[in-house]
Amino acid sequence: MKIFGDGGQSGVDPAVATNRFHTFFNAQIDVNFHYSSSPFLGGFPGDETGWDWISDPFFSGAGGSEARSFYIPVIYDPVVSGTLFTGLQHVWRTTDNGGSQSFLDMHCNEFVGTFNTTCGDWVTIGADLTSNSFGSDKNPPGQYIVATSRPPAPSTDSGTLWVGLRRGRVFVSSNADKGSGSVVFYRIDTSSQPERFVSGIAVDPSNANHAFISYSGYNAYAAVAGTAQGHVFEVTYNPLTHSATWSPDLAGNLGDQPVTGIAVDWQTGNGTVFVSTDFGVFVRTGATTWAPAAGGLPSVAVYGLTLDSTNRLLYAATHGRGAWKLGL
Given CA atoms 88, 91, 96, 99 in this order, what sign does their dihedral have? Answer: negative
Count the alpha carbons within 13 Å of 195 in the hemisphere toward its beta carbon: 16
pLDDT at residue 256 greater than cutoff 60: yes
Q: For the chain, give the mean pLDDT.
A: 93
pLDDT greater than 80 at residue 155: yes
Q: Which residues are paired to 32 by β-bridges?
A: 20, 51
Decide if 201 contacts 164 (C-beta within 8 A). Answer: yes
233, pLDDT greater than 80: yes
User: Which is nearest to 175 in space by CA: 156, 154, 161, 189?
Assistant: 161
Which of the four pLDDT bands, split at 50, 70 and 90, describes residue 2? Answer: low
Q: What is the mean pLDDT of residues 180-197?
A: 97
Whether the model pTM is above 0.85 = yes
- C-beta separation of 15 from 5 below 8 A: no
Per-residue model confidence (pLDDT) at position 49: 84
Residue 235: what pLDDT? 98
* Phi, psi for residue 64 in degrees, rounded to 5: -65, -20
Through-space distance between the first and last CA atoms of the chain, rounded to whole angstroms: 25
Helix (H, G, I), strand (E, B) or coil at 58: helix
Which helix H or strand E contains 308, and what residues bound it? strand 302-308
Residue with the bigger pLDDT between 59 and 321: it is 59
User: What's the pLDDT score for residue 292?
Assistant: 95
Output the CA torsion sign for 325, 326, 327, 328: negative
The listed range with the strongest mean pLDDT (5-9, 119-123, 139-143) is 119-123
pLDDT tens-digit map of 53-110: 999 999 999 999 999 999 999 999 999 999 999 999 999 999 999 999 999 999 999 9
C-alpha 74/C-alpha 92 separation (Å) is 10
Distance CA 35, CA 12 (A): 10
Q: Is the pLDDT of residue 1 over 70?
A: no
pLDDT digits (tens, 9 = 90+) for 50-68: 899 999 999 999 999 999 9
pLDDT at 268: 86
Contact indicator for 292, 285 with CB cutoff of 8 Å: no
33, 124, 58, 49: CA torsion to nearest 10: 0
The burial class, CB within 10 Å (0-12 / 13-18 / 19+), for 82 is middle
Backbone phi, psi, residue 98, to 5°: 95, -5
Of 273, 157, 148, nearest to 205 by C-alpha is 157
Tell whether the model's pLDDT for residue 45 goes beyond 60: no
Q: Element (H or E) spanning 102, and its range? A: helix 101-107
